[in-house]
């Protein structure tokens, strides 16, 4: 650690997040290292270290001979200030080397509002922001993660994107770089070669040509690259790499526990959900493998909590077998087994009873919409009856805390749907009055509404976002219909969700806005402490870009979409079909009740879709 860093650390909050040195951190001798990768997470240590994807790829790259992957996180504001005033460039935790000394700079991007952090981190590293301003093989910047499914807003900054699951493609990319470096290739030669790896999208090989009205006229693939790049997936999760020797942070992080992913993909098809479509097809891990990995991870890490994660854990076929093994193992060792994302079905209710330890955490539902009609539109197959039955069970078992999550601004939503939320909440309160075993402690119902953001690769990718004024009107309408003292109502601010809509469906022209915003100080936009809407509005103004074009305009079904060069497996025809069904208020049964023909099973060569 440098003398300078030693002096800066006492002046900042939570210095342990900047020092590395945690249990299972990987160190290598630089003499044996040919390729150095700085793996950057565009948010704070506490958020980034909670990301399972990053842990998997960290392990995979470090298993490669001659490759050393180190971690880099966004500094909090106090540290950034200290770094800037002392001329301390951004460093990687393992070696404390400056990021600009690394061969490859990788970002994993899971949230649109972290885009400015990417630019800010490059800036703090002293690395030029724009791809074209970085010459040579040194400091090749690449990125992956769900946001790479519409990479265009970042196209000017990132040399190439790695699409989909990274277990295999990352090894191919880094191996190619190893070769390129040994043979002294130019950056151009490397980019051309890397573009031949399936799943790699090099934005500079795609020219975007616009119509007068601002829509895209043509996306021209040049240098012989494919017109459409298909994301990568791992077919067999049982044999896929999974790190059971994970870094255990020495300071508290957001998800401070072991984490096991039980399957990938989702059978549900909620029409607003990007992960639900872009993570298909469904592939499971067997209970045996999971149990073995759970034991290994827990034994090695010393964690006292483990989470079984997935997009919808109730849909894991072997959940009973797995939990039957895990519950006694965990109980004996004072390990808390947490199973989030359960549906309100009978098995889950039984499981909840079994998992129930000394502490009763709250119940959380995400009905997303207040009326059955609108829930049918969005294909959220959760009925009022399921919610109320689960609540009744829980209340009679002593629970007295419920969280309900909704969205406002969903397609076809009317005031009746908004007020349907209030009605549903009252039925929950009524259920408590009828079933509560202990009324003395009172009931808390937390209701939260989010501002609907249409996302790429979903049936709602063409939808209009409602205006912020309209969103706030609906929030207030709802608020005015909550009379009970038991209700605590929170609604998301409109500003962030509006920007999220812009960046989620943005095109290449947004690069200029991101750069201006970041240069004028936009950073940590996901944090209330730092989010500054005005910086963004000024940046739009300065770049002559109207955010409404990406939000309230809506996209035409015939329009070329900025992300049309990216194939996540589900076909556009399927998405259009689903959109039509939404407007017809028709649900589409989950994949287990019949394949709806999304197309994602075509990605599988060796196994069948496990939906």
Partner 1 sequence: MPRLLFEKTGRGVWISHLDLMRLFQRAFKRADLPLTHTQGFNPRASVSIALPLSVGVESACELLDFELDGQTVSCDEICNRLNNALVDGVKVLEVYETGRKIRDLSLLHCVVTLEYDSGVPAGAQSAIENLFSQESVIVPKKTKNGIQDQNIIPMIRRLSVVSVDPNTIELDALVCCQNPTLNPAQLALAVEMHLPDYKADFSKSRRVEIYDQNENVFR
> Of the two residues 334 and 485, which places its CB atom closer to partner 1 in the complex?
334
| Cβ at position 419, least distance to partner 1 in Å | 40
> Of the two residues 18 and 41, which places its CB atom closer to partner 1 in the complex?
18
Q: Does 18 bind partner 1 (CB under 8 A)?
A: yes
Q: Does 33 bind partner 1 (CB under 8 A)?
A: no
Residue from the set 120, 123, 139, 301 that interacts with partner 1 by CB under 8 A? 301
- Widest Cα–Cα separation across the chain: 75
608: number of Cβ within 10 Å: 10
Six-digit token pair at 94?
């393992």
Q: Does 216 bind partner 1 (CB under 8 A)?
A: no
Binding segment for partner 1 among 10-18, 347-355, 533-541, 585-593 (CB under 8 A)? 10-18
Q: Does 87 bind partner 1 (CB under 8 A)?
A: no
User: What is the rounded CA–CA span in Å between residue 154 and residue 508?
Assistant: 7
Binding segment for partner 1 among 7-15, 235-243, 272-280, 518-526 (CB under 8 A)? 7-15
> Of the two residues 94 and 368, which places its CB atom closer to partner 1 in the complex?
94
Q: Does 296 bind partner 1 (CB under 8 A)?
A: no
User: What is the rounded CA–CA span in Å between residue 450 and residue 453?
Assistant: 9
> Of the two residues 306 and 387, which places its CB atom closer to partner 1 in the complex?
306
- Residue 285 in contact with residue 238, Cβ under 8 Å? yes
Q: Does 85 bind partner 1 (CB under 8 A)?
A: no
- Among candidates 115, 112, 147, 315, which has minimal Cα distance to 231? 147
Residue from the set 300, 345, 495, 538 that interacts with partner 1 by CB under 8 A? 300
Binding segment for partner 1 among 18-26, 139-147, 280-288, 502-510 (CB under 8 A)? 18-26
Residue from the set 97, 250, 348, 602 that interacts with partner 1 by CB under 8 A? 250
| Cβ at position 303, least distance to partner 1 in Å | 7
| Cβ at position 19, least distance to partner 1 in Å | 5
Residue from the set 86, 186, 211, 299 that interacts with partner 1 by CB under 8 A? 299
Tell which positions 326-365 bind partner 1, by CB under 8 A: 333-334, 358-359
Q: What burial letters (b/e) apply to 2-35, b meaning 16+ CB within 10 Å? A: eeebeebbeebeeeebbbbebeebbebeeeeeeb
> Of the two residues 1 and 30, which places its CB atom closer to partner 1 in the complex?
1
Six-digit token pair at 50?
């909670």
Binding segment for partner 1 among 15-23, 192-200, 283-291, 415-423 (CB under 8 A)? 15-23
Q: Does 251 bind partner 1 (CB under 8 A)?
A: yes
- Residue 144 in contact with residue 104, Cβ under 8 Å? no
User: What is the rounded CA–CA span in Å between residue 6 and residue 4?
Assistant: 5
Q: What is the DSSP string of 203-248?
A: GGGEEEEE-TTSSEEEEEE-TT--SSEEPB--S-TTTS---SS--B
User: What is the rounded CA–CA span in Å between residue 200 and residue 602?
Assistant: 19
User: What is the rounded CA–CA span in Å between residue 263 and residue 250?
Assistant: 29
Q: Does 1 bind partner 1 (CB under 8 A)?
A: yes
Q: Does 548 bind partner 1 (CB under 8 A)?
A: no
Tell which positions 253-282 bind partner 1, by CB under 8 A: none
- Residue 299 in contact with residue 244, Cβ under 8 Å? no
| Cβ at position 331, least distance to partner 1 in Å | 13
| Cβ at position 80, least distance to partner 1 in Å | 18
Six-digit token pair at 146?
């769900």
User: What is the rounded CA–CA span in Å between residue 210 and residue 509?
Assistant: 10
Q: Does 7 bind partner 1 (CB under 8 A)?
A: yes
> Of the two residues 22 and 321, which places its CB atom closer to partner 1 in the complex?
22
How big is the site for partner 1, counted in residues (CB under 8 A)? 28
| Cβ at position 13, least distance to partner 1 in Å | 10
- Among candidates 13, 8, 42, which has minimal Cα distance to 524? 42
> Of the two residues 358 and 469, which places its CB atom closer to partner 1 in the complex?
358
Q: Does 22 bind partner 1 (CB under 8 A)?
A: yes
| Cβ at position 251, least distance to partner 1 in Å | 5
Q: Does 75 bind partner 1 (CB under 8 A)?
A: no
Q: What burial letters (b/e) apply to 472-505, b meaning 16+ CB within 10 Å? A: bebbeebeeebeeebbebebbebbbbbbbbbbbb
Side by side, the strands of the sheet bearing 363-368 are 363-368, 401-408, 444-451, 487-491
> Of the two residues 250 and 493, which places its CB atom closer to partner 1 in the complex?
250
| Cβ at position 304, least distance to partner 1 in Å | 7
User: What is the rounded CA–CA span in Å between residue 105 and residue 37?
Assistant: 6
| Cβ at position 462, least distance to partner 1 in Å | 48
Q: Does 302 bind partner 1 (CB under 8 A)?
A: yes
Q: Does 29 bind partner 1 (CB under 8 A)?
A: no
- Residue 158 in contact with residue 515, Cβ under 8 Å? no
String marking each residue 358-397 x if it binds partner 1 according to CB under 8 A:
xx--------------------------------------
Q: Does 230 bind partner 1 (CB under 8 A)?
A: no
| Cβ at position 44, least distance to partner 1 in Å | 15
Q: Does 23 bind partner 1 (CB under 8 A)?
A: yes
Six-digit token pair at 144?
């992956």
User: What is the rounded CA–CA span in Å between residue 262 and residue 479?
Assistant: 38
Which own/partner contact pairs does 207-212 have at CB distance under 8 Å and 24+ positions apart? 208/152, 208/507, 208/508, 208/562, 210/509
Q: Does 252 bind partner 1 (CB under 8 A)?
A: yes
Q: Does 10 bind partner 1 (CB under 8 A)?
A: yes
Supply angle C-alpha 205, 208, 214, rounded to 5. 165
| Cβ at position 7, least distance to partner 1 in Å | 5
Cα distances from 40 to residues 17, 37, 104, 125, in angstroms, run 14, 9, 10, 11
User: Which residues of the shown chain bind partner 1 in the complex (CB under 8 A)?
Assistant: 1, 7, 9-10, 14-16, 18-23, 25, 248, 250-252, 299-304, 333-334, 358-359
């Amino acid at each position: 650690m440098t003398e300078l860093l030693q002096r800066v650390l006492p002046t900042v909050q939570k210095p342990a997040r900047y020092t590395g040195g945690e249990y299972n951190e990987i160190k290598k001798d630089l003499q044996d290292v040919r390729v150095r990768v700085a793996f950057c997470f565009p948010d704070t240590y506490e958020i980034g270290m909670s990301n399972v994807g990053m842990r998997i790829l960290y392990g995979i790259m470090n298993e490669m001979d001659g490759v050393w992957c180190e971690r880099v996180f966004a500094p909090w504001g106090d540290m950034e200030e200290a770094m800037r005033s002392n001329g301390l460039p951004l460093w990687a935790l393992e070696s404390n080397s400056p990021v600009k000394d690394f061969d490859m700079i990788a970002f994993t991007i899971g949230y649109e509002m972290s885009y400015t952090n990417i630019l800010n981190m490059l800036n703090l590293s002293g690395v030029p922001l724009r791809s074209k301003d970085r010459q040579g093989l040194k400091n090749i910047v690449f990125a992956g993660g769900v946001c790479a499914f519409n990479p265009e807003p970042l196209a000017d900054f990132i040399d190439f994107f790695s699409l989909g699951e990274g277990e295999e493609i990352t090894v191919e990319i880094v191996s190619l770089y190893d070769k390129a470096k040994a043979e002294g290739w130019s950056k151009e030669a490397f980019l051309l070669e890397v573009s031949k790896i399936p799943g790699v999208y090099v934005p500079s090989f795609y020219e975007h040509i616009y119509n007068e009205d601002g829509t895209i006229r043509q996306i021209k693939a040049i240098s012989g690259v494919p017109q459409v790049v298909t994301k990568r997936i791992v077919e067999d999760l049982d044999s896929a790499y999974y790190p059971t020797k994970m870094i255990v942070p020495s300071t508290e992080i957001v998800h401070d526990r072991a984490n096991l992913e039980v399957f990938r993909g989702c059978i549900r098809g909620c029409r607003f959900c990007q992960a639900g479509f872009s993570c298909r097809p469904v592939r499971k891990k067997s209970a045996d493998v999971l149990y073995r990995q759970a034991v290994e991870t827990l034994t090695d890490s010393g964690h006292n909590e483990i989470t079984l994660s997935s997009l919808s854990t109730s849909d894991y076929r072997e959940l009973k077998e797995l939990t039957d093994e895990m519950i006694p193992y965990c109980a004996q060792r004072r390990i808390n087994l947490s199973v989030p994302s359960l549906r309100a079905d009978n098995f889950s209710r039984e499981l909840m009873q079994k998992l129930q330890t000394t502490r009763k955490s709250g119940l959380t539902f995400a009905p997303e919409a207040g009326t059955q009609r609108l829930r049918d539109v969005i294909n959220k197959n959760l009925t009022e009856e399921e919610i109320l039955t689960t609540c009744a069970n829980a209340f009679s078992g002593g629970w007295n805390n419920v969280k309900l999550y909704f969205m406002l601004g969903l397609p076809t939503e009317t005031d009746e749907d908004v007020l349907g939320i209030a009605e549903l909440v009252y039925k929950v309160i009524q259920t408590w009055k009828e079933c509560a075993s202990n009324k003395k402690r009172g009931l808390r119902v937390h209701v939260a509404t989010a501002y609907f953001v249409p996302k790429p690769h979903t049936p709602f990718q063409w939808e209009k976002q409602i205006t912020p004024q309209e969103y706030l009107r609906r929030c207030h309408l709802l608020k005015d219909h909550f009379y009970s003292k038991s209700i605590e109502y929170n609604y998301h601010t409109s500003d962030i969700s509006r920007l999220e809509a812009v960046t989620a469906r943005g095109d290449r022209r947004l690069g200029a806005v991101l750069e201006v915003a970041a240069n004028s100080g936009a950073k940590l936009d996901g944090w209330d402490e730092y989010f500054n809407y005005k910086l963004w509005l000024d940046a739009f103004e300065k770049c002559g870009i109207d955010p409404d074009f990406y939000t309230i305009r809506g996209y035409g079904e015939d329009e070329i979409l900025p992300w049309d060069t990216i194939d996540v497996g589900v076909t556009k025809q399927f998405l259009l079909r689903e959109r039509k069904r939404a407007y017809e208020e028709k649900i589409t049964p989950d994949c287990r009740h019949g394949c709806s023909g999304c197309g994602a099973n075509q990605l599988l060569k060796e196994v069948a879709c496990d939906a």
